[in-house]
Structure 1
Amino acid sequence: MDRAAIGIHGRRKPTLRRVASAVVAVLAVAFLSVPPAAALAFPTPKALTSFLDLECFKTNPYQPPATTLTLRHINPVLSGLPTETVTLGQREQLCVPVSKNTQVPPSPALDFIRYVDLACYKISGATVTTGLVLSHLNPLFQSLPRTQISLNTPQQLCVPVVKNNAVPPDEVLRLVRHIDLKCYAITPNTPLNQQVSLRQLNPVLTQTIPTHGAQILSARQLCVPVYKGGDNIPAEVLNIVRWIDLEKFDITTPTTLPTVSLTLRHINPVLARLPAEQAVLSGASQIALPVAKNGNFPPG
């Protein structure tokens, strides 16, 4: 090979190295300039509550370890009711998120609603006899007339859990872990008389419990948001969960739903010390529908 050829090839090698180095530098700058994934934004109180429908399944009886809780109302309409100390009784239900008919909750509300799983335990307490006017929030039922009810004796406390260790994303957990509802018996037990199709939203149950019909019957309870003593609710979370009011109605389902065995774990900091629970779902008995009290509608 002549010297001219050698000289040409000798000059090419440093040129190629310089090009390769430049490409690597450009790629590095591009990688470093990519912004981190944005945190999941909280929905407005109105967006979350309007689509928060829960189907409540009967569970096998389970008595948690002795637990005493101090409960304080956080919704503006009931803030004047007294703080009350209750003892956590036997578990009676697991309420899980569903969509009605062809309705799908919008994002970002859906990202949070699908992880609202509430285990409901029997409690007792003082009768309050408080009159309220309830308005449905879900768009499917907004045209229904308002109803006048009397809030009576507390019957259940529904607290947040996860099923089969399916922990939600951090931002979702930050909100749903503080949803605690105190459920009061109500009168009159006015029937809703609506036929709906229910579809599971939580990933653990979407492949287990099929879409099914349900006839919504009489109203039984109003579940209202409370603060448990010892909890530390961030202000932006409190501004959402304080608006969650759910009216529970009896339902019947035309088809027999499968029996489902689950492991439940408490996610609220006050109850996180409690052991995991085994729960067997043995049929849907109620549906909890979002309502507003006395015309005080969630903002947003």
Structure 2
Amino acid sequence: MDRAVTGIRGRRGTTLRRLVAVVVAALAVAFLGAPPAGALAPPTPKDLTAFLDLECFRTSPYQPPATALTVRHINPALVNLPIETVTLGPREQLCVPVAKNNQLPPSPALDVIRYIDLACYRISGTTVNTGLVLSHLNPLFQNLPRTQISMNTPQQLCVPVIKNNVVPPAEVLSIVRHIDLKCYAITPNALLNQQVGLRQLNPVLVGKIPTHSAQVRQARQLCVPVQKAGDAIPPEVFALVRWIDLEKFDIVTPTALPTVTLTLRHINPVLAGLPAEQAVLSGASQLALPVAKNGNFPPG
């Protein structure tokens, strides 16, 4: 009788210990598998691209040290275009993130977009004469008709920089430092003819460049994502930046914007050794709007 009772108690104890172990293990997995407190959850490609609007400002003249870069296309629609070596010419623009008509990007896309600053340098290269159908992604413009264009000769390479040594959070830097866009002339130069209000998003320019209106005019370029030789893009970042396609339109602002002097520093690993640059912004000239090519929309 005593041995039977002891056996039952022993089995109950074993069962309880096993149950406790299972619960502890499950809690450990849940705890270890969760992102650290305060960590940024990366945006989906859809959210990142749909709300990525860049206002491009003319800059004071600057010629970087002679730098040859070998770049390859990474967007699925263009991966068959040839790898090409280009040389950085004079800096022509600084493109900075803005919100249109007070339409702020959702978080976590906003946390990344506000730090996407691209310095654009003149390049030359092979004319590709590639036909594409473009669809607007931003919710304000996504109901506009699709346009058929020919992507022709490369004109600029736009690479990531920081302004006035303001470095984004580490998890944001790990994304924005790998955004490189090769900008091609396009035809025809279709007229968009849209009036928008533009509000600065980057912390360095908030308060320095006021919210202002702009008339969006003709399309001039298509800027598509490329990867520079020597830049090892992590797979999770590659899955985001390969979907960034921006169509650049001329804009007219009704009032003169303040002149702003900035110090630019390269953050892409391949260009991080270049010297810091002084840049004086002397007026907005273009607006880069997110598009999809040939109905191949970013996932998410």
TM-score of the superposition, structure 2-length normalised? 0.88
Task: Tell me how far 1:102 sits from its aligned partner.
Answer: 2.2
Match of 1:92 in 2: 92
2:285 — aligned with what?
A: 285
Indicate the residue corresponding to 1:7 in structure 2: none
| Cα offsets for 1:16-58 (capped at 9, x unmatched) | xxxxxxxxxxxxxxxxxxx952420110000000000000000
Deviation string 1:60-99 (CA, Å, 9 cap, x unpaired) is 1100001000010000000000000000000000000000
Equivalent residue of 2:265, what SS? Answer: strand
Task: Please tell me whether Structure 1 or Structure 2 has the larger radius of gyration of its CA atoms.
Answer: 1
Task: For 1:112-151, list aligned pairs within 5 A.
Answer: 112-151=112-151
Name the amino acid aligned to 1:211: T
Distance in 2 of aligned mates of 1:37 and 1:257? 40
- Partner SS for 2:287: strand
Matched residue, 2:73: 73
Question: Which string of whole-angstrom CA distances, capped at 9 and with x for unpartnered residues, describes residues 220-245 of structure 1?
Answer: 00000000000010000000000000
Aligned equivalent of 1:26: none
Indicate the residue corresponding to 1:208 in structure 2.
208
Count, aligned residues: 266
Q: Give me the whole-angstrom Cα distance separating, in 1, the residues matched to 2:77 and 2:164.
A: 36
Q: Equivalents in 2 of 1:234, 1:265: separation in Å?
A: 22
User: Matches of 1:295 and 1:36 in 2, distance apart?
Assistant: 37
Output one character per residue of 1:119-148: Cα deviation in whole Å (capped at 9) or x when no partner. Answer: 000000000000000000000000000000
Other structure's SS at 1:42 match = coil
Identity %: 81
User: 2:226 maps to which residue?
Assistant: 226
User: 1:101-180 alignment to 2 at 5 Å?
Assistant: 101-180=101-180
Match in the other structure for 1:16 = none
Secondary structure of residue in 1 paired with 2:238? helix
**Which residue of the partner structure matches residue 183 of structure 1?**
183
1:248 aligned residue: 248
Query: 5 Å matches for 1:42-81?
Result: 42-81=42-81
Q: Equivalents in 2 of 1:120, 1:132: separation in Å?
A: 23
Q: Deviations over 1:145-180 (max 9, x none)?
A: 000000000000000000000100000000000000
DSSP 3-state at the match of 2:77: helix
CA distance in 2: counterparts of 1:61 and 1:182, whole angstroms: 20
Unaligned residue ranges in structure 1 (runs of 5+): 1-34
* Cα distance in 2 for residues equivalent to 1:206 and 1:198: 12
Q: Which runs of 4+ in 1 moved over 3 A?
A: none
The Cα RMSD (Å) is: 0.8
